[in-house]
Chains A and B, each alone.
Chain A
């Protein structure tokens, strides 16, 4: 089955710093989503991005489907950005999202 690897596994930032999270996948995908799981366990949609670039405030994402990776950029990080970031992919004709290994982010005040 498809493998989804995220890097780095852990990241500690000072408030105000920028960061880039990476998601590599081992096969072609139909779609990709980025999620933020907050410390209370809520999984929050960030981007639905099978290809191209999208921006939402301080966050942006880029997926290069032909090269099988996606990047999530966080600028001017805030303590509320802390939590675990997951990418999840679904392959063509299937119905289940495969989640990556996650990046655990901690932003210090």
Chain B
């Protein structure tokens, strides 16, 4: 079975632009979460979606938004990019939203903002 897939793998954007990152969960997983990992730190929670509804949001500005589609895939959108948004963006999927089953991560999208 395919794991969590993310696209694109790498992306270079300019300050002020917007970006859309995509994620397909493991088949059968209805929960998708997004994490941001800046260099030298652990991943930080951004959003969780379950059954197409937002279930949680981390401490990120409104420039960050996300959605989940009927097939449970998800998009993360970031508007008005700042240099500090440069990071590895990780998508994870799980069977349930409350940590009662393991979290599985994709390989990430490495975003560079110049």
Q: Does A31 reach chain B (CB closer than 8 Å)?
A: yes
Q: A41-B88, A86-B42 are in contact. List 12 more A-B contacts (CB 8 A).
A: A30-B99, A31-B99, A33-B102, A42-B108, A43-B90, A43-B105, A86-B43, A95-B48, A95-B56, A95-B99, A96-B33, A97-B103
Contact B58 A96 (CB under 8 A): yes
Q: Mark B71-103, 1 if CB is under 8 A from A, else 0.
A: 000000000000000001010000001111111
The answer to the question of A45 belonging to the interface, with a C-beta cut-off of 8 Å to chain B, is yes
Is the CB–CB distance between B107 and A48 below 8 Å?
Answer: no
Could you give, for residues 42-61 of chain A, a 1 whenever the CB lies within 8 Å of some chain B CB and a 0 otherwise? Answer: 11110010000000000000
Does A13 belong to the interface (CB within 8 Å)?
no
- Assess A41 versus B107: contact at CB under 8 Å? Given A30-B99, A95-B56: yes
How many Å from the CB of A54 to the closest CB on chain B? 12
Asked whether B98 lies within 8 Å of A30 as measured between CB atoms, the reply is yes
Q: Do A96 and B100 have beta carbons less than 8 Å apart?
A: no
Provided the pairs A86-B42, A95-B48, A96-B56 are in contact, do residues A48 and B102 lie with their beta carbons within 8 angstroms? Answer: yes
